[in-house]
Structure formats: structure tokens, C-alpha cells
Structure 1
Amino acid sequence: MSRASFAEPAVMGDLMARMLWEIGAVHFSPDEPYKLASGLVSPVYIDCRQLISYPRIRSTLMDFAAARVLADAGFEKFDCVAGGETAGIPFAAFLADRLELPMIYVRKKPKGYGKNAQIEGHLPKGARVLVIEDLTTAGGSMFNFINAIRAAGGVVEHGMALFYYGIFGEAEKRFREGGVDLHYIATWKDVLAIARKEGLADQATLDAVGAFLDHPMDWSRARGGLEELIV
């Protein structure tokens, strides 16, 4: 039976941030910043893949994810849930079960043998697909999956990221111009707010993280990292 708890978005964001801290998925390191795959230099790193190992947490987050898309998009707006290789696949399975919908998954590229499939599962032409990922920074990987689904005849107007960086204006532009409404539960601002409230890092670290979240590209450029976000 499908179910959803319609808490206020701010409450869901706060609770997810607490969950991420509780399981050790959040890392702050301004003195030895992380260099991300994009080339961005960042004092923050998050590992949302850990969520699959905590049944109570992942079940609650699926309640939250279902609530967000039902409240924001509608109750009969989707025919299928799609997960992107690899991190989005388990969350697509969890959310499809919660919403009582079929599931597919999308490879980063066609597998290169057999039927050379990029999409696994049954995707009828015209099916309205909700794409889910564990997190999105600027939407690049999500749109790789969205474009593959559209090319196969699916319709994608909504995406769900459990965690959204929420600090890049370029990301908002990408989703807007791509015709996709992005739904999400928590952002880095939620994570930092909990860290400040609970004293989870020293003041210098909190200030450095805050400076990065306010001006991420300036922070990265000053440390030899990515100078312009490629979307």
C-alpha cells in the first residue's frame, strides 16, 4: 500500500540533514578540500549511497520523496520511476514500490553488446517517467538519463534528487530550460544549519563551509579548482 507523510518541506529537509550527519555521510574539510570529478574544489563532500544500508532512514526518506512529488507534481502524473546507473537504481526501486509504479533503470551509455540497450525494463512510448537520483549538483548526470529516456519515447517533466546542492544558479537554469521540475528533500544549507545548531564542527570550519556555499566558484577558483561550472 502506498503511503506518504505530508510534513512541511523545511521539516523534511531538517530531518534528512540530521540523518546524513547521524550515519557519517557528511564530510567537512576546508583545510584539505576535495577535488570533485567536475574539477570543482570543495570543502564539503557527501556520500548519499550510504543511505541504502539504513532501513529505517531509507524508508522515511521514501515517505518524504513520495510526499514531495505527490504534493508538488500530482497524484496521477507518472507511469514509471527511473533510476540512473548506479546510485539511482536502488532508490528508484524503493520509490517505485512506495508509489506502486513500474520501474526501469538507465545506463550511462549503451552497454555495447547484445541488444545494445541503454534502458533496462519496459518503457512504453509516451510513458510519463519520474527520474530519481541520490543527489544532483548541477543536473549533468540526471539529464544524461533524461535525454536517453526521451530519445526512447518516454516523457520526462519531473526529476527527484534526494539531496540537491542548491548553490549553483546554472543548475536552476538547466532544469528550467530542459523542461524539468526538480524536486528534492535537503540541500547543503540544511546540512550546515544542523552543523551550526548541534556544534558538529568548529567555528572556523563552519565559516569556511558557509563561505563556499555562498560563493562556490570563487572559493574553488581561489584554490586552483574549477573556474566555471560546466552544465
Structure 2
Amino acid sequence: MIENKAKNKAMIALKTAKMLLEIKAVNFRSKEPYTFTSGLKSPVYIDCRKLISYPRIRSAVSDFCVVTVMRDVDFEKYDVVAGGETAGIPYAAFIAERMRLPMIYIRKKSKGFGRNVRIEGDLKAGQHVLFVEDLTTDGTSKLSFAQAIREAGAIVSDILCVFYYDIFRHAPTLLAQYGIKLHYLTTWKDVLSVARNEALFDPLTLYEVKKFLDSPLEWSASHGGISDFRYKPR
């Protein structure tokens, strides 16, 4: 049983990685690194928003998301599916439809007028929420969304995302401290594996990507970016 779960997880990871590469949602650029909002310099960038423009791929990814929930958690655990503004909203809609559940979405901050709320839709106290996002880097941005759900009296203990960076060692511990478990389809290491096997990038680029994935903060610092960052609860 455990072996079958592991095989299923590995298959989904590689299939999802291949689809992301196919639609060029994955970008490797070692000579001119990308700069993230945090100040991190990176030779890798991914745009999961592109998936929504490819119906067959987005359908397969959405199915994989539901399979992952059924495999890792419980199909009947949740009452509501929530998406984070903005990239998580379409994925939440796709998954809520497949799971036959209500959907809500959460703003990054309240509008400042009208009802002045962060949660849009009908969420009741005590309901169990599956929070959905397109990707997770180090997990810090997800905590604000989870906090909004909890302040509304609902329960959130699981985050589901299509893509997880899986390169920041503190991320699982940070989420666990806030009572949250992360579920995901694929990671940078899976993408790199497919890219290598199919020779999609030149050897030097793949070498630099591997160096970054092994030591992201050190790679960032050596290319003019930050060398450390920590989440500070608001």
C-alpha cells in the first residue's frame, strides 16, 4: 500500500513537471537571474498561471490535485475549498467543482470599503477548509491566508498547491508550527530531472540550476541577492 502511494506520487510529480515544461511555464536563466519580491536572486522561475490557458493540461492537473487529496488526506474531510487571491482562485474553482464542494476566495487584504472583508463567498464557523494555491515557495505568504480563515471561525490544516519549490529547509517546520500540512504535485527537483532526461537546456544552465536548488540562499548571495530571510508574524 505504501509502495503504491509512493509510485502514484512519483508518477504525478513527473507528469506534472513534464506538462509545465511543455507549455514553457518553466524558465531557466542562469546568466541573468530573476529577482523575487523577497530580494532572492534565482536562475529559475515558474508561471503556473499559464496552465489555465491549456484545457487538457489544466484538467489533468486538477484531477491530480483531487487524487493527491484522496491519497494523502481524506475525500470527505472538507466542507469548503478556498483559493488565494489571485493565482489560487482558478485552481480552487476547478478542484471545488470536481469535489462537489462550495468555493470561496481570500483577498490578500480587505478592500477598505463595503463589508471590508477578506473572505468572499459563504464561509461558516466550524467548517473545514481546503486552501488551494498555484505554488508555494517558502510558505510564508500562505500563513496570512490561513490566518484570515481562522479569524472567520473556520478550520484550516491543509494547503494544496500545484508546485512547491522544496528548497527552503525551514518551510515544512514553519507551516507545521502553525498547524498546517502542505500537499503538492511537483517540485523543482522533479522539473530538473525531466529537463535533464530530455536535454531541454544546455549543460551549464542545468549545472547552475542544480547549484541553486542545493543552496538557494548561497547562490542568491553570490549573484547579488539576499542571503537570508525569515517570516515575521503580523
TM-score, normalised to structure 1, is 0.96
Is residue 182 of structure 2 the alignment partner of residue 182 of structure 1?
yes
- Map Cα deviations across residues 196-220 of structure 1 (whole Å, 9 max, x no partner): 0000011111010000000001100
Is residue 153 of structure 2 the alignment partner of residue 153 of structure 1?
yes
Offset at residue 181 of structure 1 (A): 1.0
1:86 aligned partner, one-letter code: T
Q: How many positions carry a matched residue from both structures?
A: 226
Unpaired runs of 5+ residues, structure 2, are none
Give the whole-Å Cα distance in 2 for the aligned partners of 1:224 and 1:73: 41
Q: SS of the counterpart of 2:50?
A: helix
Is residue 142 of structure 2 the alignment partner of residue 124 of structure 1?
no
Considering only aligned residues, what root-mean-square deviation do their CA atoms show, in Å?
1.0
Give the whole-Å Cα distance in 2 for the aligned partners of 1:69 and 1:169: 23
Give the whole-Å Cα distance in 1 for the aligned partners of 2:191 and 2:71: 23
1:43-54 matches, within 5 Å, as 43-54=43-54
1:194 aligned partner, one-letter code: V
Partner of 1:215: 215
Is residue 40 of structure 2 the alignment partner of residue 17 of structure 1?
no
Q: SS of the counterpart of 1:8?
A: helix
Provide runs of 4+ in structure 1 moved above 3 Å.
none
Unpaired runs of 5+ residues, structure 1, are 1-5
Q: SS of the counterpart of 2:170?
A: helix
Partner of 2:206: 206
Partner of 1:3: none
Partner of 2:57: 57
TM-score, normalised to structure 2, is 0.95
Partner of 1:87: 87
Identical pairs, percent? 53
Give the whole-Å Cα distance in 1 for the aligned partners of 2:123 and 2:171: 27
Partner of 1:171: 171
Q: SS of the counterpart of 1:131?
A: strand
Q: Does the 8 A contact of 1:170 with 1:229 survive in 2? A: no
Q: Does the 8 A contact of 1:83 with 1:90 survive in 2? A: yes
Partner of 2:40: 40
